[in-house]
Structure 1
């Protein structure tokens, strides 16, 4: 499979789809426990899970080194905490009869010592930070153009401004990784180059 491959395309697209479904859910004035909430979060969860093999694929495009290993570990930790957050939201929506119930369950969970810090404040941003650093390393390795980390950084900031920008953030992440070249592409280019 040539880079960026199906996973690097589908993961950010599903992240965008999560944002789009969320916006449709908000449009009717009732976005809480129900079909729209669950659909959005399940799609988002699948997208986040698909980032795991995508990140591991990006790792294989880099030369070995401490920066590569450390960045991948940080990114995977961020992904794991994000998966817990999405999973918790899905479970709470299944248990709740209304938005007040869901808010109470979410509050009870985040009130557990260390949960809010780990799974909401520090953990998930590590995923985005790791992606940005990975893209910088890929630029240094000649796999991505200089502008990819810029687009990626801008895209990851958008949801922090408002969750309504999640669809654009996903598309920005997609745009930043699309230029990835596969080793096969490079070999072909070398064979075609004049000697």
Structure 2
């Protein structure tokens, strides 16, 4: 699989892995701080990083326009905010000795003016909105099937209901974006060299 296509699918797979590691960590009733907390959030952070080239690869399947640029920019800003959120969770897990102290550190971080809006409540949602709009644009141009849009929406909404549904949500996202993989791979294929006729 070509690199760009790999990134398109690696982002959702990161969400699936995050959800599975989180469920494993919660199975003993003592999730965080510790190895399970760090592993889950590192996997999630890696997934968010993979979404950056993945979103750019999907955007290249559309003709250039100010609308496409705005949607991609919003998605990337949301991704950056999400990465900060996961990075903060990782740092808090490293500094805290127990769950109570970790919660206190998280509260202290959120008490900084603008942090909760920028990295938790509002800006991170731009990624999901941007990805959904981008998927709709691809479906409108038949680069993706129509069902990719509701399937992606389900993948976004399910973890909002409960984070225990993260693995299913990530799987829905992967299935929604998977039909674009051949097109992304095709775009990466080098052009056939022209042969001069003398």
TM-score (norm 1): 0.91
1:77 to 2:72 alignment: no
2: CA distance between counterparts of 1:136 and 1:36? 36
1:167 to 2:167 alignment: yes
Shift of 1:59: 1.1
2: CA distance between counterparts of 1:139 and 1:47? 24
Q: 1:191 corresponds to which residue?
A: none
Deviation string 1:136-176 (CA, Å, 9 cap, x unpaired) is 01112220011101100111001111111110110000000
1: CA distance between counterparts of 2:71 and 2:10? 22
137-146 or 78-87, larger mean C-alpha shift: 137-146
Q: 1:190 corresponds to which residue?
A: none
1: CA distance between counterparts of 2:117 and 2:183? 38
1:143 to 2:143 alignment: yes
Q: 1:193 corresponds to which residue?
A: none
Structure 1 unaligned residues grouped into runs of 5+: 187-195
The Cα RMSD (Å) is 1.6
Aligned length: 186
CA contact (8 A) 2:92 2:106 kept: yes
CA contact (8 A) 2:57 2:184 kept: no
Shift of 1:2: 5.5
Structure 2 unaligned residues grouped into runs of 5+: 188-198
Q: 1:132 corresponds to which residue?
A: 132
Shift of 1:116: 0.5
2: CA distance between counterparts of 1:153 and 1:130? 12
CA contact (8 A) 1:3 1:182 kept: no
* 4+ aligned runs moved over 4 Å, structure 1: 1-4, 183-186
Q: 1:182 corresponds to which residue?
A: 183
CA contact (8 A) 1:55 1:72 kept: yes
Shift of 1:185: 5.3
